[in-house]
Amino acid sequence: MGSYGQGWKVAATGSGVRRLLLAALCCAALHMGSALAQGLPAGLQRAFGATHLPQSAMSLVVREIDGPVLVSINPAEPRNPASVMKMVTTWSALSGLGPEYRWRTALYGRAGASVDAQGSLRGPLYLKAGGDPFLNMAELWSLLRELRLRGVKNLTEVVVDRSIFGDVATNPGEFDDSPDRPYNASPDAMMVDLGAVRLLFEPDTAAHKWIPIIDPPLTGVRITGNIAWSAAACPGSPSIGTNVVRTGGETTIEVSGTVAGSCGEFSVYRLALSQPRNFADLFQMLWRELGGTLGKGVVSGRVPPGAKLIAWHDSQTLSDTIRKINKQSNNVMARTLLLTLGAEKAGSGATPATGASSAEAILHDQGVDTTGWNIDNGAGLSRASRLTAQGLAGMLNVAWHSALMPEYISSLAISGVDGTVRRRMRGDQVRGMAHLKTGTLRDARALAGYVLGASGKRYIVVSLVNGDASSAIRPFDDALITWLAER
């Protein structure tokens, strides 16, 4: 098949022109504004027609790796890629920092600090935040246990140094007025468990009621309201209403809704506290559980020159981390990764702008065309993000021919198997044949990645659709991946 440029153009002369004009008129009569899918089989032409989307809403590039471009529709039009932006962030970081890159969270005492016979550390404990995007409570507990093993029991105060990042805190309710949802979490250099708490609901089958539990049980955080018990058959994962109310130092999570008792124990995750407050409260809780004492509390500051390293925790590798980011489409991890790239390439005090410029510099050196791009926060949870289909396809081609290709592709969701496409494309022809990243916003849908055809050929596909009816593109995208897998 040939390569088609913007507008799905195809060359012809003489009687061929007349036939094309007639076909175009017929198509317009059947569906005004819809594009005739030149170069695609009849089934895909019908699938696109069924979306009722105009050609102007879509950018699509399909190319065989080391072969021809099969389809090219509005390839240079900048569009909002939603979470497909994470492909750019993860590739830039993987190629810019390396697959073995790790984040370090370190504990220091001041120069010459000692521990007395009662286990008291002279001076503050300094904590140098490293921007670990997936530090969890068990790892923080293990780090504090290392401190206890070194004889430290009593602390005057803890000084947290977040200077690796600049002022990057965001308002979690700014994007869609859902400030308690984990996907809206603000990035932070000292983030634990993504900043969220777990609301666990245990069934009391005798009393027909739900018993709420907060994990971790942070001081000043409580649940109010009631989840009604239903005798109905469980329809699927329970969905409940939540509203976080902060009054002074107290945080109340109001819950509501009805859940079938047959669903059994279930959990939801919510943002109850700011990232700094969440860390401070969690640190103090774990330190008490380990038998430690803390006098003045947790404050912000800097590690002084000459400070003495006491204990540290190194994260999992970058190659492992990007699997979580892409397969589960984790927003705050992607944002933190972009900031890390900015810190490593442009210096401490990283911001989304320095992270984005660092990513673009890496891609420019690789020959990727980023004309019209706006990487913004690196997660795609943005109305301002922009990519072009041809630029992203070019980046995916660079990644394919890189020595880091296996690490990158393994981070993508596998069709019909895992991640965000585990329930899509489950037919025998396509299941397991594509590594993909999805993107979903109210007015944007995107799908991009690699497809292995039945012939053994590999294909790159990038589909970006913007507009109020963009959700209509999903059946077409699924049919497109199936078509490529069958080739």
Domains in the chain (CATH in brackets) are 15-99+319-486 (3.40.710.10), 104-170+275-315 (3.50.80.20), 197-270 (no CATH)
Residue 439 CB coordination number (10 Å) = 26
Contacts of 379 (CB under 8 A, 6+ apart): 83, 85, 86, 89, 331, 332, 334, 335, 338
Report the alpha-carbon distance of residue 460 to residue 453 in Å, rounded.
11
Q: Are 8 and 73 in contact (CB under 8 A)?
A: yes
Contacts within 8 Å (CB) and 24+ apart, 205-208:
205/261, 208/261
**The pLDDT value given to residue 249:** 86
**The pLDDT value given to residue 32:** 32
**The pLDDT value given to residue 42:** 86
Report the alpha-carbon distance of residue 259 to residue 209 in Å, rounded.
10
**The pLDDT value given to residue 14:** 41
Q: Are 216 and 137 in contact (CB under 8 A)?
A: yes
State pTM to two decimals.
0.91
**The pLDDT value given to residue 3:** 35
Contacts of 207 (CB under 8 A, 6+ apart): none
Report the alpha-carbon distance of residue 194 to residue 225 in Å, rounded.
25
Identify which of 306, 281, 288, 275 has the alpha carbon closest to the alpha carbon of residue 144. 288
Q: Are 452 and 475 in contact (CB under 8 A)?
A: no
Full strand arrangement of the beta sheet holding 221-225: 221-225, 250-256, 241-247
Between the CA of residue 229 and those of 209, 234, 243, 254, 255, what are the distances in Å? 6, 11, 20, 17, 13
Report the alpha-carbon distance of residue 284 to residue 293 in Å, rounded.
8
Residue 365 CB coordination number (10 Å) = 10
Binned average pLDDT, 10 residues per bin, the chain of 487 residues: 36 39 38 44 90 94 96 96 98 98 98 94 97 98 98 98 98 96 98 98 97 96 96 95 93 97 97 97 98 97 97 98 98 98 98 98 98 98 98 98 98 98 95 98 97 97 97 97 96
**The pLDDT value given to residue 39:** 59
Element (H, E) at 106: strand 104-109
Name the token pair of 380: 């795609």
